[in-house]
Copies of this chain bind each other. A is one copy, B any other.
């Protein structure tokens, strides 16, 4: 039986430094209440112990609330907290190592910035790709130039695995990314920096659902 494909519609990545002093736990709970479907723990400054602590909190919360939970970069942490999968950048561990440690049933996502990286990730067995930055973004200084909606369209036309758009996506442009063929949009600041996190997630989710034709 093939493993089920998660609902990638609204993929929220943690960012403690963008969360205005609120705890990651509180912010993520509000995001899920607003309609986030995937949560990724991504805190580059955390030591292993802190990743495990927050990872276990988010694992319990996401399981209880019925959303998917992914850990960034650290395959060992994903294993330790029994996350649903891991997300790897082009500079992280190879996908094969993630598969060996996590087993075939876990999700492995890969960041891609162009068609070649998407097709390579797919060929090596990635479950989804995070494609971007779709629009210009200030959150990731090393994210490179915006790839634009045209590349999203081209990639989504060729890729056989789900494509999640990332980078500079907000409520006012999320629909374009979905209309270009993406399975979902990934955000950090558009949700975690919002004064009302639940409402920000709800607005994004509303635009995504509209674009998918799930709302009339």
Whether B73 and A100, one on each chain, are in contact in the complex, defined by CB atoms closer than 8 angstroms, is no
Assess whether A5 is interfacial by the CB under 8 Å rule: no
Assess whether A79 is interfacial by the CB under 8 Å rule: yes
Assess whether A94 is interfacial by the CB under 8 Å rule: yes
**Bound complex: CA A16 to CA B215 (Å):** 56
Chain A interface residues toward B at CB < 8 A = 47-50, 52, 73-77, 79-80, 88-94, 97-98, 100-101
How many copies the complex holds: the figure is 2
**Bound complex: CA A77 to CA B76 (Å):** 9
**What is the CB-to-nearest-CB distance from A152 to chain B, in angstroms, rounded to a whole number?**
25
Whether A47 and B92, one on each chain, are in contact in the complex, defined by CB atoms closer than 8 angstroms, is yes
**Bound complex: CA A100 to CA B81 (Å):** 12
Whether B75 and A93, one on each chain, are in contact in the complex, defined by CB atoms closer than 8 angstroms, is no
